[in-house]
Structure 1
C-alpha cells in the first residue's frame, strides 16, 4: 500500500498473527529506513539473523559458513598468541647468543655469514686464577665449588659491565677479559687496570657460603700487545683470542695472592697516568718467555690494594 507521502511500504502484520518474531519485524523496518545512515550494516544483519534463527532450521551451507567463520576467528587468535610466543623466544635466544659472542659476530652468524678472524694491534688481556682452589675443592662438595664460582663470577660480571671490556671466557677458575677488541679503544690499558682494581676490592670482601671465615685469594696478570681474534667451531662456536699477548698475560701464574702482576708494556702505557701507583717487582722467569721485568699495580690515587 502507499502511505500519505507517496512512499510505498508493505503492510506489516501484527507479531501475534505471524510466526515472525518482534526482533525480526524491527530489523525489517530498520532495513527500509529512509535515512541510509540509520540502516544496519550487512555484518550486523548477519549477526542478528544468526542470533534469532533456529539452529535446527539452518541449512547445510549456512551451518558450514558459520563454522568456517568461527574457525577463522579462533585461528587468528591462535596465530596472534603463537606470534607473541615466537617473538619472546627469539628475544631470549638473542640475549643468550649476545652473552656468548660479541654482538656483531652473533648477527653475522645468524645471517649465515662467515666471520673472518681479525688482527688487533693494540689490546690488553687480563687473567686471574684462584689460589689453592684444589685444596678448597678437596674440602668441599662439587656443588659447593659450583656455588662459589657462580657467586664470584656473577658478582664480577656485574662489575665488568661498567667498564669498556669484553669477557672472553671462564675455564674452571680461570677468568679472561680483554679490552681493545672487539670494540677498539685507545684506553684499553686504563680500562683493564681500573677493572682489575675493582675486582680485587670485591674479592677481599667476598664471602664463601659454606666457609665464611675463609678469604678467596686471586692471582692477577695483565699484559698488553697485538692480538688476533676469531670464531672457532661450528656446533658450539666460541670467540677466542690468539697470539703471544695471550700467552704472556698468563703471568698470573708467577704472581702473588691478592696482587696485580703486570708486564713492562702495561707499565709503559700506564706511566703517563700519574694517579696509578706502580712498583717494580724485578726480573721474573716466565714460562716460555724467559726473563722479563715485571711490575705490581698497587692502586689508584688514594685507593690502595695493600
Structure 2
C-alpha cells in the first residue's frame, strides 16, 4: 500500500510551490496519499491539487499541466461520465489522464469504462508506489513525444505548402530552378531549365547523369555544396555551360538550402541565371578599357582629361542610381506596397472597389487655441510626435494610413488587401490611440493650458480606392462610408471612440459599447451611434480592454 499522510488541501485547490521543474501533475480527488507519495519524489514533479472533478475544466484553462491523476471513489460512474465529456473538449484532448479506482464497490467492466471515457491509464487502489511513479513518468514522456511529432507534422505541412507555391512560381520564371536532395540527386526542374539548356530533365539526366555532381562539368560544385551544408546559407558561383545546340553560355548559380525546424537540410534549390550578355558586355568593356589604356599611353597629354571624364561618368551614374532609389523609396512611402508595385510594373494603378472597409477619422480638439501661441516648428514637432505613434499603432493592426489634413488623421482597414477582420482591427486601433493620447504629454508647453485631446469616429462600409495626380501621386478613398466616418468623428466626444451602427453590428459580441443616440447624415437619414468602451473581459489580455487575448485573436484569424 501507499504510505499515507495528511496533506493541507484547501476548499478549492492548492498549488504546491517546488523548485524549478518541468513535470506539472494535477491530483484530482480527496485522497491525500498520492500527494504525499509524489511529494517524496523531490523536484521530479510540480504537484497541483484539486478536490472536485467538476472544477477541472476551469482549472486547466488557467494552469498548464502535463498530466492529471484522477482519483475516483463511490462516484466512479459519474466521474468517468464527466471525464468523457471533458475529453471531448479540445483543451483536454491532449492531456494524459491516469484514473485511480478507489471505488469501494465492485463495478462490472470498470477498466473498460475508464478507457472508453478517455483515460490514458487505469490503476486500482493499493498499487505499487514505484509502478505508479513509473507510469506517471511514462505518460508524461509519451505526451511530450506526441507533441514533438505533432509539431514536426505541422512543419512538414507548411514545407509542402511552400514547395507547392514555389513550384508554381518557378515554372513561370525565366530563370532555371533545380531541386536536388542532400545526395545530389536531381528531383525536379522548371520549364526555365528547358529554355536555358534545351533539354528536358529526363533527357539531361540520361545524357549527363542523375546527380548534380555527375551532370556538372564545374570542379567547384562539390566544394560549393559542402560550403552550403556547413554554413546553411546560400552560395554563388559562375561557370560556362554548353546547351543541347552546342552553344556555350555563362551561367550564374545560387545554391540555397531548405532547412527543417530541427536544423536538418532536406533539399537544395539551385537558381541559374543566363549572364552571357552581361559577360559579353563585360568583355567588351575590358577590351575598350585596354584600348583606352593604350591610347592613354600614347596620348599622355589627354590623360588628365580622360580621367576627369571617367570620374564625371561614374558620378552621373551614381547620382542616377541614387535618384532612382530615392524615387522608389518615396513611392513606397506615399503609396501602399501593392499599389506602388502595380504603378511601377504597369504604369498605372487601376481604381478598386471594396465591399467592406472600415474608415477612422481623428481630429484634435481645440487645436487652434492650443497652437495659437506656438512657433510653427513646435506645432509641426508635436503633430509629428503624435502622427508617428499613430502610424506605428495602425501598422500593428494591418490598417492603411490614407492622409493627414492639418491636425486631422485618416486611415482605413480592409485595403488595399481585403480582409473581413477590419472592423475589429480599426476599433482596436482607435482604443489604443485614445489610450496613448491620454498618457502622452508633449515636450512643448502651450500657454493656453489646454491639453492635447482628440475625437475618433469609425464607420464600416463600401469604398472606392485609387491613385490620383500626375507628378505627386496620392492614394485616396471615396464613398459615403468616408463621409459617415467623418460624421462619427464630428459627433464624438473627447477621449472616446464613436462608431456607427454598421460597425457596431460587427463588433458588439466582443466589445462593451454604449448607445448614445442618433445623428442625421447629409442625406437626411438618421444613424445610430455607439461609444466603444473596451474589449469584453473574456477577450482582453489587459485590465483596460485594449489588448486582445489569444481567444480573440483566434476569432479574428478565422474570419
Q: State which of 520, 525, 531 in structure 2 corresponds to 1:296.
A: 531
Matches of 2:419 and 2:454, distance apart in 1? 27
Q: Deviations over 1:65-120 (max 9, x none)?
A: 67789988887776566545543432332121111112232233334623221111
Matches of 2:504 and 2:295, distance apart in 1? 87
Q: Aligned pair in 2 of structure 1 residues 201, 76: CA closer, same or farther (>3 Å)?
A: same
Matches of 1:128 and 1:285, distance apart in 2? 20
TM-score (structure 1 length as normaliser)? 0.70
Conservation of the 8 A alpha-carbon contact between 1:130 and 1:174: yes
Higher mean Cα deviation, 179-188 or 253-262?
179-188
Counterpart in the other structure of 1:224 = 460
Conservation of the 8 A alpha-carbon contact between 1:208 and 1:214: no
Q: How far is the alpha carbon of 1:235 from its aligned partner? A: 2.7
Counterpart in the other structure of 2:479 = 243
Conservation of the 8 A alpha-carbon contact between 1:207 and 1:214: no
Counterpart in the other structure of 2:519 = 284
User: Residues 1-306 of structure 1 correspond to what in structure 2 (within 5 A)?
Assistant: 63-64=297-298, 83-111=317-345, 113-211=347-445, 214-250=450-486, 251-272=488-509, 274=510, 276-300=511-535, 301=540, 302-304=543-545
Matches of 1:176 and 1:70, distance apart in 2? 58
Q: How many residues align?
A: 245
Matches of 1:126 and 1:157, distance apart in 2? 13
Q: Aligned pair in 2 of structure 1 residues 135, 62: CA closer, same or farther (>3 Å)?
A: closer
Matches of 1:207 and 1:192, distance apart in 2? 24
Q: How far is the alpha carbon of 1:159 from its aligned partner? A: 2.2
Q: How far is the alpha carbon of 1:140 from its aligned partner? A: 2.1
Q: Aligned pair in 2 of structure 1 residues 267, 80: CA closer, same or farther (>3 Å)?
A: same
Matches of 2:370 and 2:314, distance apart in 1? 53
Q: Aligned pair in 2 of structure 1 residues 209, 61: CA closer, same or farther (>3 Å)?
A: closer
Conservation of the 8 A alpha-carbon contact between 1:222 and 1:260: yes
Counterpart in the other structure of 1:31 = none
Q: How far is the alpha carbon of 1:173 from its aligned partner? A: 1.1
Q: Aligned pair in 2 of structure 1 residues 229, 286: CA closer, same or farther (>3 Å)?
A: same
Conservation of the 8 A alpha-carbon contact between 2:360 and 2:410: yes
TM-score (structure 2 length as normaliser)? 0.40
Q: Deviations over 1:270-304 (max 9, x none)?
A: 124x2x22221122334545421110111123315
Q: Deviations over 1:42-82 (max 9, x none)?
A: xxxxxxxx9xxxxxxxxx97842677899888877765665
Conservation of the 8 A alpha-carbon contact between 2:382 and 2:444: no
Q: Deviations over 1:145-175 (max 9, x none)?
A: 2222112112222222222110000000110
Conservation of the 8 A alpha-carbon contact between 1:206 and 1:215: no
Q: Which has the higher contact order (CA 8 A, sep 6+)?
A: 1
Give the 3-state SS of the residue equivalent to 1:127 in structure 2: strand
Q: Aligned pair in 2 of structure 1 residues 203, 222: CA closer, same or farther (>3 Å)?
A: same
Matches of 2:523 and 2:382, distance apart in 1? 32
- Structure 1 unaligned residues grouped into runs of 5+: 1-49, 51-59
Conservation of the 8 A alpha-carbon contact between 1:248 and 1:289: no
Conservation of the 8 A alpha-carbon contact between 1:204 and 1:215: no
Matches of 2:339 and 2:380, distance apart in 1? 29
